[in-house]
């Protein structure tokens, strides 16, 4: 196990966590951005399985949120406002009339305080930040810690901890784009996805939840037994078309299977298992990604990666029946997501 530190343009530090069995994860103190995850394929080739920029300067703006911690609230908040305890809070509108991923000055653009730890079995990085009252319009002073742990079972464990002195919305996630083909050799069309979910959130033409939960049965959103992502890319189902020929939807977990989700690339043999105590996740398949961005291993294009954004639902701020994002004053926020990388037998 080891940790390496690299200074980036005298502004940021990139920490690379390496285990004893050939996996490594690189993370910037800027936005907690995961820049690389290096894992072997079935032939032992160790390659990167997340999207990242070729030039580190591009992480400063990072409009695609590559690899970043997202918050205070991940996802879209309708009308860039919400009501809480009789008060109306106005947020920055950075997605048309709506508020997206914590706004233009969200957690993804901050330099976090960093500390590392190491043992015989794991190596890790803890990032800390204090978000002050009315930061981006949200109430409460919130102490946040996000910990990345890599162990010898090729598990990347993300632990999110927070506490606020006022009741406030909070749901944090990581916005890595996974592509298990390795070094962006292919798009994710042939990636097989399984999601333990029988219901997903309906979106309108602005990708805002309508307040309706839809049953996945007999639709391209039924991933309970696994299916290729391209089945949704090429589907005439209205919800696939709304998202730009793909997925950008919140799935509520049934918690009936061993894993909440998994991802398989049949060509490389790489598998990623997802376990979390979050109530659901947004699966986004880079439907609107612009072409020609200079990425570490090539140029960006549509459907080049898939995000598994484990979180609660910001739709709960405007509709009943959705997993709440409200954190009560003084309450401990403790969420965990584990990404386990394996090789298909």
Here the tokens at position 205 are: 């033409």
d(CA 226, CA 195) in angstroms, rounded, equals 7
Q: What's the rounded Cα separation, in Å, for the pair 210 and 246?
A: 18
Cβ 261 vs Cβ 194: under 8 Å: yes
* Among 286, 280, 34, CA closest to 176: 34
Q: What angle do CA 326, 331, 333 make, to 5 degrees?
A: 70
Catalytic residue, candidates 99, 101, 175, 303 = 175
Sheet with 46-48, strands from edge to edge, namely 2-8, 12-18, 24-28, 34-40, 46-48
Catalytic (active site) residue 309: yes
- For residues 245 and 262, give the distance between their C-alpha atoms in angstroms, rounded to a whole number: 21
What torsion do the CA atoms of 344, 302, 62, 341 make, to the nearest 10 degrees? 0
Which residue bears the tokens 């966590």? 17
278 is a catalytic site residue: no
Rounded CA-CA distance 12/115 in Å is 14
Rounded to 5°, angle at Cα 69 from 306 and 78: 80
Give catalytic residues, as residue numbers: 175, 309
């Amino acid at each position: 196990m080891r940790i390496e530190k690299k200074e980036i343009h005298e502004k940021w530090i990139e920490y690379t966590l390496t285990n004893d069995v050939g996996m490594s994860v690189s993370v910037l103190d800027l936005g907690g951005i995961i820049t690389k995850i290096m894992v072997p394929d079935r032939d032992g080739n160790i390659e990167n399985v997340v999207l990242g920029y070729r030039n580190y300067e591009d992480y400063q703006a990072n409009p695609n949120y590559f690899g970043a911690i997202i918050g205070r609230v991940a996802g879209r908040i309708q009308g860039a406002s919400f009501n809480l305890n009789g008060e109306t809070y106005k947020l920055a509108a950075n997605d048309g009339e709506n508020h997206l991923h914590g706004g233009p000055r969200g957690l993804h653009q901050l330099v976090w305080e960093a500390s590392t730890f190491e043992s015989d079995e794991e190596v890790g990085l803890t990032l800390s930040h204090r978000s002050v009252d009315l930061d981006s319009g949200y109430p409460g002073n919130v102490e946040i810690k996000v910990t990345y742990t890599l162990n010898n079972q090729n598990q990347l464990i993300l632990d999110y901890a927070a506490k606020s002195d006022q009741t406030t919305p909070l749901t944090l996630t990581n916005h890595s784009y996974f592509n298990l083909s390795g070094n962006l050799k292919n798009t994710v069309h042939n990636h097989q996805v399984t999601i333990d979910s029988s219901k997903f959130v309906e979106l309108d033409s602005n990708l805002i939840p309508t307040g309706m939960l839809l049953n996945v049965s007999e639709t391209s959103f039924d991933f309970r037994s696994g299916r290729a992502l391209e089945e949704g890319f090429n589907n005439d189902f209205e919800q696939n078309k709304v998202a730009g020929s793909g997925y950008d939807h919140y799935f509520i977990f049934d918690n009936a299977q061993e894993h909440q989700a998994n991802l398989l690339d049949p060509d490389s043999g790489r598998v990623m298992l997802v376990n979390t105590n979050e109530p659901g996740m947004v699966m986004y398949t880079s439907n609107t990604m612009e072409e020609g961005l200079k990425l570490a291993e090539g140029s960006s294009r549509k459907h080049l990666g898939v995000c598994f954004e484990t979180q609660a639902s910001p739709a709960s701020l405007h509709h009943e029946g959705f997993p709440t994002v409200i954190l009560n004053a003084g309450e401990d926020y403790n969420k965990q997501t584990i990404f386990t990388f394996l090789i298909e037998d």
